[in-house]
């Protein structure tokens, strides 16, 4: 038996692969150093004192690494009041799984190099001062599950290739300056649970078959845009919906009666549209309904009397419509009703 061969193998592995791991780790460290260099204001001084080149980068505040390779897997610098720009070098963190820079003052545009993050699952840049368009490279994050870009100053259209994110569960871009229509293919992402695009300047109509592929959707928040057309009758196929928020848009025609089949619905807000017709009796068959707002439309007819089927109802607003008749006596039985 040759006892020399195992030692040669070990020597070869250490000699050849250790420098490779070391050099990759240096790439990660340099990327973090670049991120620090692009931060112009650190009110708590944490990065200035804790992010020292004399200590391992995996021990730095807000940094998590995988073992045993010590590659950066997560960055969490949220709620630190940081000011600056997002360094393009962080696109070199090829094993990054989560990036959370929310609730800071990062400005300028999003780096185009972020499209290199093949392992990324969560991207949270909520509540900063980012401008420019949403990079197409984001659509390359095949493992992405949650993306939060709300409360920024982003403009342009939502990338049409966003539908390639087949593992996406949360799509949240509210309070920006986004324009154009919502790509219809987004509603084909079967894993999507939450769509939040409120307070933008989005236009166009919603696809009539928006719930044909995705029946798991729980929250649909599209308020304060310029969306128009009819509310899809297919919405009733999203049987898990808990929130439908479509207020302050330009939706027309009648309210789909099938919404009354959404047994988990808690919040229905359709105020400030141009909806017509009568209030569907079926809406008051939703026992989980808590908040109900149809104010400022062109609805007519009488108020349905079947309030007794909504024991959880807390607030209802039907003002500024063309409703006739009296107020149903059942409303008087709601001790929990606040408005």
3-state secondary structure 75-92: EECCCCCCEEECCHHHHH
Other CB atoms within 10 Å distance of the CB of residue 1:
4
Question: Is-contact 149 170, C-beta < 8 A?
Answer: no
**Radius of gyration (Cα) for the chain, nearest Å?**
26
Buried b (16+ CB within 10 A) or exposed e, 42-70: beeeebeeebeeeeebbebebbebeeeeb
**CA 16 – CA 71 distance, rounded (Å):** 19
- Say what the alpha-carbon torsion angle 295, 296, 301, 307 is, to the nearest 10 degrees: 0
pLDDT in tens, the chain (339 residues): 444 444 434 333 344 444 444 456 789 999 999 999 999 999 999 999 999 999 999 999 999 999 888 899 999 999 999 999 999 999 999 999 999 999 999 999 998 877 788 899 999 999 999 999 999 999 999 999 999 999 999 999 999 999 999 999 999 999 999 999 999 999 999 999 999 999 999 999 999 999 999 889 999 999 999 999 999 999 999 999 999 999 999 999 999 999 999 999 999 999 999 999 999 999 988 999 999 999 999 999 999 887 768 889 999 999 999 999 888 776 665 545 565
Give the closest residue to 130 by CA, choosing from 163, 157, 102: 102
**CA 147 – CA 163 distance, rounded (Å):** 13
């Amino acid at each position: 038996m040759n006892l020399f061969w195992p030692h040669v193998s070990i020597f070869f592995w250490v000699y050849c692969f250790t420098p490779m791991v070391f050099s990759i780790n240096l790439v990660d460290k340099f990327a973090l150093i670049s991120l620090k260099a692009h931060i112009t204001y650190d009110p708590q001084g944490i990065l200035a004192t804790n992010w020292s080149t004399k200590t391992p980068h995996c021990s730095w505040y807000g940094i998590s690494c995988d073992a045993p390779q010590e590659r950066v897997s997560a960055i969490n610098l949220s709620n630190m009041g940081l000011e600056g720009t997002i360094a393009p070098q962080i696109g070199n963190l090829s094993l990054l799984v989560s990036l959370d820079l929310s609730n800071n003052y990062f400005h300028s545009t999003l780096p185009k190099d972020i499209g290199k993050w093949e392992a990324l699952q969560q991207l949270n840049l909520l509540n900063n001062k980012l401008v420019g368009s949403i990079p197409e490279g984001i659509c390359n994050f095949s493992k992405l599950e949650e993306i939060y870009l709300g409360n920024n100053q982003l403009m342009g259209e939502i990338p049409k290739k966003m539908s390639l994110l087949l593992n996406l569960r949360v799509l949240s871009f509210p309070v920006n300056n986004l324009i154009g229509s919502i790509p219809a293919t987004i509603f084909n992402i079967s894993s999507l649970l939450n769509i939040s695009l409120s307070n933008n300047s989005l236009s166009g109509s919603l696809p009539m078959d928006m719930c044909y592929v995705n029946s798991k959707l729980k929250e649909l928040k599209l308020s304060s845009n310029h969306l128009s057309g009819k509310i899809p009758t297919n919405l009733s196929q999203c049987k898990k919906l808990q929130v439908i928020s479509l207020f302050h848009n330009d939706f027309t025609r009648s309210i789909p009666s099938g919404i009354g089949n959404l047994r988990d619905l808690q919040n229905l807000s359709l105020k400030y549209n141009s909806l017509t017709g009568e209030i569907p009796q079926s809406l008051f068959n939703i026992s989980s309904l808590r908040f109900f707002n149809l104010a400022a439309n062109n609805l007519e007819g009488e108020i349905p009397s079947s309030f007794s089927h909504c024991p959880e109802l807390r607030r209802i607003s039907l003002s500024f419509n063309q409703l006739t008749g009296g107020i149903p006596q059942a409303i008087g039985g709601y001790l929990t009703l606040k408005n």
